[in-house]
């Protein structure tokens, strides 16, 4: 072979070798990345080529699928009572992707999960079309409806938990949105999406999990737990040696009380009428580091609370000075909490000091309803002893019986609660957030703990606003859970 031909042959051989290397690189090394790439339309077409499995509440689907006309995406998602359930389901959109349960359990819902491999293989031989599995939630339909209707046209959120298991029973957020309104990929879907995404009401935000607020006086139950756990208080009916006015440490600033009778008030009385001075002094007595130790046992400062949807971390400042710690001990300054976090606090107290990990997916099932995975309740922590938890229960029950939370009373049921009004805005210029946390107790223990926050209520600046605006919502949710168990 002459020299020019040999060079051409070698060059062609190198081209073939490069082609083989590239082909194998694409097929084996980059296969996973390419198959899941957001711009790979074939993946999206396949994702919507069959009906998605459903998200289930109490045996009934709250989702569905319908045929899409004029699109290469065959099916699109539908939602039953979409705005009510959106904080639970999230959305699945042909054009804008998915979030929350729709995204986290996409493999099950589309039928692509490895645990459904046998079903897919059998279908190849039987001719049955591919089907998605189902996500069975822990939600209580009556409680969710009570929470959503209770919030009405107000901005706010509700989280309700079964203290004994950690199962989430209600998760409401308002204003909400209908995931069906942008589930397709038409111009109308795009218009609806843009309006929601750019809207000032932040309707796409799940306020129950992914918005933090100053918890105000509801945080006083945490400060009470810290004071009891670290031995600063042993008798909840004994005077606390608190002056009125109480001066914040290292300052000349008076702590303002919105209640009377706070001087030397016992912990029981201070909780009943919500004395700022008593709890600010207790927080200082406990010290910042010991306060941090207690609050973190309740779940604060934890960035990995998954329900399976990840909640924003609730915050208690670990570096603040003494006056900052005193203010934080009444739920102000840098303290911030999600409604889920305050429901967890309440659930731990109602469950005699045992905090269960919150979750809202009970089971994952195959299309034939075989159980692929079942959640088992899991203890998360023990923030306080049984004895101290029961002392706080006594105080919270007094709040409802004859204190600031009387609007949460339920006939024939023991209810414990705590009101809160959290100031915010520059110089506290904006309407305060109205809070209420509570639990109900029956002969079989406590079946429900609730946290409610209302953002935009025209609240009076005292704890009664939490009792007036948020407590009736909590009452309706608790009663719905109790009635559903009869």
pLDDT digits (tens, 9 = 90+) for 207-235: 999 999 999 999 999 999 999 999 999 99
Does residue 156 form part of some domain? no
For residues 155 and 468, which has the higher predicted lDDT (pLDDT)?
155
For residues 426 and 294, which has the higher predicted lDDT (pLDDT)?
294
Which residue reads 């029961």 in tokens? 390
Q: Is the peptide bond before 175 cis (omega within 30 degrees of 0)?
A: yes
Active site residue 186: no
How many domains does one find in the chain?
1
Q: What per-residue confidence (pLDDT) applies to 207?
A: 97
Does residue 403 form part of some domain? yes
Does residue 93 form part of some domain? no
DSSP 8-class letter at 315: B
For residues 20 and 75, which has the higher predicted lDDT (pLDDT)?
75
* Nearest Cα residue to 80 out of 61, 103, 54, 96: 61
Does residue 75 form part of some domain? no
Question: What is the rounded radius of gyration, in angstroms, for the C-alpha atoms of the chain?
Answer: 27
Taking only the tens place, the pLDDT of each residue in 108-146 is: 999 888 887 666 665 555 656 778 899 999 999 999 999
Does residue 131 form part of some domain? no
For residue 214, give its domain range: 210-364+377-484
Does residue 3 form part of some domain? no
CA distance 115 to 218: 44
Indicate the pLDDT class of residue 464, thresholds 50, 70 and 90.
very low
Q: Which helix (H) or strand (E) holds 177?
A: none
Q: What per-residue confidence (pLDDT) applies to 123?
A: 57
Helix 339-350 and helix 386-402: axis angle, to 10°?
110
Go through the chain and tell me how many residues it has: 486
CA distance 48 to 75: 5
Residues 243 and 315: beta-carbon distance below 8 Å: no
Taking only the tens place, the pLDDT of each residue in 397-412 is: 999 999 999 999 999 9
| Average confidence score pLDDT of the chain | 90
Which residue reads 């703990």 in tokens? 449
Marked catalytic residue, from 217, 274, 277, 329: 217
Q: At residue 428, does pLDDT exceed 60?
A: no
Q: Which helix (H) or strand (E) holds 1?
A: none
User: 3-class SS at 279?
Assistant: helix
Indicate the pLDDT class of residue 44, thresholds 50, 70 and 90.
confident
Does residue 175 form part of some domain? no
Give me 449's structure tokens.
Answer: 């703990």
Residues 105 and 361: beta-carbon distance below 8 Å: yes
Distance of CA 90 to the CA centre of its chain: 13
Output the domain CATH number for residue 407: 3.40.710.10
Does residue 117 form part of some domain? no
Residues 70 and 63: beta-carbon distance below 8 Å: no
User: What residues have CB less than 8 Å from 158, skipping those under 6 apart?
Assistant: 147, 148, 150, 151, 170, 171, 172, 173, 208, 339, 450, 451, 452, 473, 474, 477
């Amino acid at each position: 072979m002459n020299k020019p031909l040999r060079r051409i042959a070698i060059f062609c051989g190198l081209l073939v070798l490069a082609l083989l290397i590239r082909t194998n690189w694409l097929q084996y090394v980059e296969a996973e990345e390419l198959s899941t790439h957001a711009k790979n339309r074939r993946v999206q077409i396949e994702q919507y080529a069959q009906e998605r499995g459903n998200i289930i509440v109490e045996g009934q689907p709250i989702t569905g699928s319908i045929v899409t006309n004029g699109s290469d995406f065959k099916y699109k998602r539908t939602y039953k009572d979409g705005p009510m359930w959106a904080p639970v389901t999230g959305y699945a959109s042909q054009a804008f992707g998915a979030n929350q349960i729709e995204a986290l359990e996409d493999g099950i819902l589309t039928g692509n999960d490895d645990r459904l491999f046998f079903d897919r293989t059998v279908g190849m031989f039987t001719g049955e079309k591919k089907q998605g599995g189902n996500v069975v939630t822990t939600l209580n339909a009556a409680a969710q409806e009570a929470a959503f209707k209770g919030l009405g046209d107000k901005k706010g959120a509700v989280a309700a938990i079964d203290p004994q298991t950690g199962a989430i029973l209600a998760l409401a957020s308002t204003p909400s949105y209908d995931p069906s309104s942008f589930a397709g990929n038409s111009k109308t879907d795009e218009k609806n999406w843009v309006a929601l995404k750019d809207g000032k009401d932040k309707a796409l935000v799940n306020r129950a999990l992914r918005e933090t607020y100053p918890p105000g006086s509801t945080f006083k139950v945490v400060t009470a737990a810290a004071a009891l756990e670290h031995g600063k208080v042993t008798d909840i009916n004994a005077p606390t040696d608190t002056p009125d006015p109480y001066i914040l440490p290292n300052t000349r600033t008076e702590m303002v009380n919105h209640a009377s009778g706070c001087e030397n008030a016992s912990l029981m009385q201070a909780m009943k009428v919500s004395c700022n001075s008593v709890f600010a002094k207790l927080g200082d007595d406990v010290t910042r580091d010991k306060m941090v130790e207690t609050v973190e046992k309740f779940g604060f400062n934890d960035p990995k609370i998954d329900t399976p949807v990840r909640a924003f971390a609730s915050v208690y400042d670990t570096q603040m000075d003494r006056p900052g710690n005193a203010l934080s001990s009444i739920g102000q300054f840098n303290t911030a909490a999600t409604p889920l976090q305050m429901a967890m606090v309440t659930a731990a107290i109602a469950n005699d000091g045992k905090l269960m990990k919150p979750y809202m997916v009970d089971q994952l099932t195959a299309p034939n309803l075989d159980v692929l995975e079942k959640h088992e309740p899991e203890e998360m922590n023990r923030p306080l002893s049984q004895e101290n938890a029961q002392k706080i229960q006594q105080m919270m029950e007094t709040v409802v019986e004859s204190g600031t939370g009387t609007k949460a009373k339920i006939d024939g049921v023991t209810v414990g609660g705590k009101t809160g009004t959290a100031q915010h805005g520059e110089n506290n210029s904006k309407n305060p957030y109205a809070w209420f946390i509570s639990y109900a107790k029956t002969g079989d223990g406590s079946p429900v703990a609730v946290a409610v926050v209302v953002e935009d209520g025209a609240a009076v600046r005292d704890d009664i606003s939490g009792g007036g605006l948020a407590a009736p919502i909590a009452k309706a949710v608790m009663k719905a859970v109790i009635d559903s168990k009869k």
